[in-house]
Amino acid sequence: MQVLRTPDDRFTALPDFPFAPHYQTIRDASGTDLRIACVDEGPRDAAPVLLMHGEPSWSYLYRGMIAPLMGRHRVVAPDLVGFGRSDKPAETTDYSYEKHVAWMSAWLLAMDLKDITLFCQDWGGLIGLRLVAAFPERFARVIVANTGMPTGTGMSDGFKAWLTMSQTMPVFPAGMIVNMGSLRDLSPEEIAAYDAPYPDETYKSGARIFPTFVPVTPEHASVAENKAAWTVLEAFDKPFLTAFSDGDPVSKGGDVPFQSRVPGAKGQKHTIIEGGGHFLQEDRPAELAALIDSFISETR
């Protein structure tokens, strides 16, 4: 496996992102070492808040939430393999949904995180919830936003349009994609920060192929694995909150299955984040940080 590593100078002077990277090396099933980066801020003796991003963003997405949370919580925001400061296998065939779950499972165990509060969005949920299902004893509570864990039962029109676009555009403009998925206009510097992990198109194999892995048909890989994960979630009685936004056509209605199927979701103060697009972390970071902080306080 050929592995690309984005030069460090691509990440200098990013707006509102002063956080130093922390690295953990894991070994892929093929025997290849992969370096996974994360932001790790706040008191080390505090329980971790795990912030998991999706496609095609990286931990930069959480810059407006890390700062207000890190005074009271240990805030850990990893970059998925293929994204951000993490290593990037060069070929699209190097990636799969199950490989992403395995990579982040190895990372989670290497970090030895426990008593975790998970906040996850987009692919951060598809992967993060699989971590919850694999290691439920490590998670104290979960907040899901604009995500899901599909099991081959179809796709929304919004996702269908995104899937087609992602696989046909000659250049994959990560920064502009995040901008289009946010309700506020990102600055040119912020858009450039989302492009920073990718010096050229060869670094984008993971980002480009990701949408094809969403198991939206019965024939997709990972349908069985997601069904097994749902079985675990249907017994998960720890606090579980939905905080979807009102302006995301891709995930609209995706909060309902979590509210009805996860025991820990019963009686929680589920909310709709008003004025939020798909990347609601860009649109409502202060509100989301306050929600996480209050949810932890109320469910200790």
Q: Is the pLDDT of residue 15 over 90?
A: yes
In whole angstroms, give the CA distance from residue 53 to residue 83: 10
Give the domain CATH number at 291.
3.40.50.1820
For residue 160, count other CB atoms closer than 10 A to its CB.
Answer: 13
Provide mean pLDDT across the span 227-239: 98
**Amino acid making up residue 170:** P
122 tagged catalytic: yes
Residue 243's DSSP bridge partners are 271
- Residue 191 binned pLDDT confidence (cut-offs 50, 70, 90): very high
Q: What average pLDDT does the structure give for the chain? A: 96
Q: For residues 60 and 197, what is the distance between their CA atoms, to the nearest angstrom?
A: 11
Q: Active site residue: 122, 195, 255, 293, which one?
A: 122
Of 196, 5, 210, the residue nearest 94 (C-alpha): 210
Residue 40 has pLDDT above 80, yes or no: yes
278 catalytic, yes or no? yes
What is the pLDDT averaged over residues 57-80? Answer: 98
Please identify which residue in the block is written with the tokens 């056509």.
249
Q: Average of pLDDT values for 162-169? A: 88
**What is the reported pLDDT for 158?**
79
Catalytic residue, from 79, 87, 94, 248: name it: 248
Flag whether the pTM goes above 0.85: yes
Q: How confident is the model at residue 16 (pLDDT cuts 50, 70, 90)?
A: very high
pLDDT number for residue 163 = 86
- Cα 254 to Cα 257: distance, rounded to the nearest angstrom: 6
Q: 248 an active-site residue?
A: yes
Find the catalytic residue in 53, 87, 278, 293: 278
Q: Residue 165: what pLDDT?
A: 87
**Alpha helices (runs of H) in 76-142, residue ranges in sequence order:** 97-111, 123-134
Domain region containing 43? 3-298
Rounded average pLDDT over 159-188: 93
Split into its structural domains, the chain has a count of 1
Percent of the chain with pLDDT over 70: 100
Structure confidence at residue 249 (pLDDT): 87
Q: What is the pLDDT of residues 196-225, one digit of tens each?
A: 999 999 999 999 999 999 998 999 999 999
Kindly report the number of other CB atoms within 10 A of residue 13's CB atom.
9
First to last CA, the chain: 44
d(CA 137, CA 39): 23
Which neighbouring-strand residues pair with 77?
A: 39
